[in-house]
Amino acid sequence: MRILVSGGAGYIGSHTTLQLIAAGHDGVIVDDFRRSKRSVVARLDALAGRSIEVHEVDLTDLAATDALVSAGGFDAVVHFAGLKAVGESVEKPLDYYSNNLGSTLSLLAAMSRHGVPKFVFSSSATVYGENAPVPMREDFPTSATNPYGWTKVMQEQILRDAAVADPSLRVALLRYFNPVGAHASGTIGEDPSGIPNNLMPLIAQVAVGRRDKLLIYGDDYPTPDGTGRRDYLHVEDLAAGHVAALDRLGTTDVTVSTWNLGTGTPTSVREVVDAFSRACGHELPVEVAPRRAGDVAESYADPSRAEAELGWRADRTIDQMCEDTWRWQSQNPDGYPDAPSGSSSDLR
């Protein structure tokens, strides 16, 4: 299939584009490069063994999005593009609502006009809200505690309503737990702009010397070692989940399917730090700090529906996640280089 990958120059989007191409699909990237680097494109070309079609488009621009989809001949859209920093969403809620909802609405309008029937949405376990029991199941109610989370809850609802209005649509809502890791080559990986919010890139930056220590946000949680537990899954397993979901959309007559993408196994902060020390070969300086507002003690998936319906399992271990992250970070201590700005011809 010819598949438009929005946010395809981003962390999960880039890994998924590669796996779509490896699975025989024609993956096409659209990205506005606000939160990703143009230099990713040349690395993806090298890993894919061919030049990947890339479009620089602001998906909140209805006309530009329609022109792209009208000319594209796409069979499906995999939608990663969106702002995703919880803290920033509290400071700039209108940016988050207009960008995240606007891009989804533009894509759906264009898809409806030009007959693109399949939509895979990058959702998040954050839609389970703050008090969800574990393991989390897809039939749990959804809510949020910050504008970023609400944009995910709202986009899921938009997609459900769009599918009621157009039963020919096939939608996959993929609820990610905690994606980490990098392509085994070490040439692509997670490169958050500014100060990372998430644990793994912070640990990686401490390990490579960009940061002097890791703060452990609370060691008094009701967990075995007192630190928060999360369901970390390897980004390559996550990407494979998208390929499996797309295949499923081609055979199911269910209009909207929801799947947790997680391992089902929680790992604590201290266990991640220890695994990363094994991967990088040295101890990591840590300091216990107060709990972070909004953090829960535990969050992990019941992944049984994806296993049963997609034949998908996230089976890479936390050690593999840390080894692959370390290879990426140690080979790219400052992340991706800034490509020269200018026309899209500078994308390579």
Q: Does 124 bind ligand WQD (CB under 6 A)?
A: yes
Of 12, 57, 269, 275, the residue at the interface with ligand WQD (CB under 6 A) is: 269
Residue pointed to by tokens 């399949």: 118
Distance CA 228, CA 261 (A): 19
Distance CA 245, CA 26 (A): 16
Q: Does 87 bind ligand WQD (CB under 6 A)?
A: no
Count of residues touching ligand WQD (by CB under 6 A): 19
Distances (CA, A) of 290 to 162, 196, 221, 224, 227: 43, 18, 11, 18, 11
Q: Does 82 bind ligand WQD (CB under 6 A)?
A: no
Distance CA 330, CA 141 (A): 41
Taken in order 36, 37, 41, 43, the sign of the CA dihedral is negative
Residues 22-81 that bind ligand WQD (CB under 6 A): none
- Give the residue with the Cβ less far from ligand WQD, 153 or 249: 153
Region from 26-34, 66-74, 195-203, 276-284 binding ligand WQD, contact rule CB under 6 A: 195-203
Nearest to 111 by CA among 235, 4, 260: 4
Q: How many Å separate Cα 208 from the centre of its chain? A: 23
Distance CA 260, CA 241 (A): 10
Q: Is-catalytic flag, 11?
A: no
Q: Does 86 bind ligand WQD (CB under 6 A)?
A: yes
Nearest to 40 by CA among 347, 301, 260, 343: 347
- Give the residue with the Cβ less far from ligand WQD, 225 or 295: 295
Annotated active-site residue in 11, 128, 148, 221: 148
Q: How many Å separate Cα 258 from the centre of its chain? A: 16
Nearest residue by C-beta to ligand WQD? Answer: 228
Q: Does 178 bind ligand WQD (CB under 6 A)?
A: yes
Of 15, 43, 211, 230, the residue at the interface with ligand WQD (CB under 6 A) is: 230
Q: Does 183 bind ligand WQD (CB under 6 A)?
A: no
Of 18, 57, 136, 199, the residue at the interface with ligand WQD (CB under 6 A) is: 199
Token pair recorded at residue 48: 């894919």
Q: Are 77 and 105 in contact (CB under 8 A)?
A: no
Of 126, 257, 329, 332, the residue at the interface with ligand WQD (CB under 6 A) is: 126
- Give the residue with the Cβ less far from ligand WQD, 124 or 332: 124
Q: Does 198 bind ligand WQD (CB under 6 A)?
A: yes
Distance CA 292, CA 299 (A): 15
Q: Does 197 bind ligand WQD (CB under 6 A)?
A: yes
- Burial class from Cβ neighbours inside 10 Å (0-12, 13-18, 19+) for residue 62 reads middle
- The catalytic site residues sit at 148
Residues that bind ligand WQD (CB under 6 A): 84, 86, 124, 126, 178, 197-199, 202, 214-217, 228, 230, 269, 292, 295, 299
